[in-house]
Structure 1
Amino acid sequence: MFDEIEEQLRQILSDNMKIDKALVQKGSKLEDWGGDSLQFLETVFEIETHFGISFPDMQNEKISDFDGLVRIVKNAIEVSQNGTA
């Protein structure tokens, strides 16, 4: 079961990475979805725009799977709403 943020992320990833939404599951690895670094950067920009957030420290954070991406997005949303993580 996915929460609302996870479901929105699944849709964005599916649309931007041109993959079947069923491939975007908890624990799934980003490398399994194919695509290239430019495609991933465009997807990150779409995520930032959709949620009204930014990932200023993203270069320091290695994202290797869907769970890591969800964690980063949820933290960024919390920071944008509350000013703290």
Structure 2
Amino acid sequence: MTVAVQQQVFEIIAKQAKVEVDAVKPESTLKDLGVASLEAIELIFDIEEHFDIHFPDQQGANFDSDTAQSLVDAVQKALDEKAAG
């Protein structure tokens, strides 16, 4: 996984949560960061648009338990699948 992907995802999360990017840790959940469920849906759209990827519907974020790192992992997986064609 590239650091750049993690950094970009963390920046998008920080913007949505209205926190400094330094406040976003791999183990932070969206709930910890104060991201409400509607904001989290917007966050997913922002991430998809930013990376030009599409998350499968069943991969919707679980706001209570999903961590920032799990979002990064999902982005990386989608990017890898896109690259594989």
Establish whether TM, by shorter chain, passes 0.5. yes
Instruction: Please report the TM-score for the alignment, with normalisation by the length of structure 2.
Output: 0.83
Secondary structure of the corresponding residue to residue 27 of structure 2 = coil
Secondary structure of the corresponding residue to residue 31 of structure 2 = helix
Provide the identity percentage: 30
Structure 1 unmatched ranges of 5 or more: none
Give the letter aligned to residue 9 of structure 1.
V
Number of equivalent positions: 81
Contact 2:26/2:69 (<8 A) preserved: yes
Task: State the 4+ residue runs in structure 1 displaced beyond 6 angstroms.
Answer: none
Q: Which has the higher contact order (CA 8 A, sep 6+)?
A: 2
Structure 2 unmatched ranges of 5 or more: none
Superposed, 1:15-30 pairs within 5 Å as: 15-30=15-30
Contact 2:55/2:78 (<8 A) preserved: yes
Contact 1:28/1:66 (<8 A) preserved: yes
